[in-house]
């Protein structure tokens, strides 16, 4: 199992503030001979629809010498997790959680925007200091 990201608890608290119930920390999946650990699994009861929504969240800080290298790792990991979820839990939506500062800078680049669109990567933009979610981008 991989180590928790330094902003793990901030994102967890932010989700709970928005009414999400954390159901897995981490969300563990077995896909063939691969064991996968996605940072969080959560669900929310939707009263109006009389149903529930389930998500998985992979949390990234991008606190690294190279934001580009961290981006490469995050996207590769996201795609692998998406494949596993589509096969094992197709009802669960996968989100990549990124800090506000990185979203407002690197994620506005042509490369990042193009990759996000091409691979239909859903984002949660969070403020780690105030432990809140600022944007849900699908």
Q: Do the domain assignments include residue 12?
A: yes
Domain membership of residue 1 (yes or no) is: no
Helix H or strand E encompassing 45? strand 40-46
In total, how many domains does the chain have?
1
> Distances in Å between the alpha carbon of 104 and those of 6, 98, 110?
20, 10, 13
Residue 45 located in a structural domain: yes
Q: Domain range for residue 60?
A: 8-137
> Does 37 fall in a domain?
yes
Residue 3 covered by a domain = no
* pLDDT reported for residue 35: 97
pLDDT digits (tens, 9 = 90+) for 74-107: 999 999 999 999 999 999 999 999 999 999 999 9
Residue 2 lies in a domain: no
- Interval 7-56: pLDDT, tens: 999 999 999 999 999 999 999 999 999 999 999 999 998 766 567 899 99
Whether residue 74 is contained in a domain is answered as yes
Does residue 13 form part of some domain? yes
Residue among 120, 122, 116, 136 at smallest CA distance from 15: 136
Closest among 50, 120, 61, 114 to 85, alpha carbons compared: 120
Dihedral sign for Cα 58, 128, 124, 89, please.
Answer: positive
CATH number of the domain where residue 105 is located: 3.40.1350.10
């Amino acid at each position: 199992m991989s180590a928790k990201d330094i902003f793990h608890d901030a994102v967890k608290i932010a989700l709970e503030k928005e009414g999400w119930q954390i159901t897995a920390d981490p969300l563990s999946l077995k896909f063939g001979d691969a064991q996968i650990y996605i940072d969080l699994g959560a669900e929310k009861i939707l009263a109006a629809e009389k149903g529930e929504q389930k998500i998985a969240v992979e949390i990234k800080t991008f606190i690294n010498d190279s934001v580009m290298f961290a981006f490469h790792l995050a996207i590769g990991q996201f795609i692998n997790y998406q494949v596993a979820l589509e096969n094992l839990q197709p009802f669960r939506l996968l989100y990549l959680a990124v800090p506000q500062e990185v979203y407002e800078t690197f994620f506005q680049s042509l490369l990042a925007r193009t990759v996000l669109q091409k691979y239909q990567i859903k984002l949660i933009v969070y403020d780690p200091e105030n432990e809140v979610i600022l944007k849900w981008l699908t």
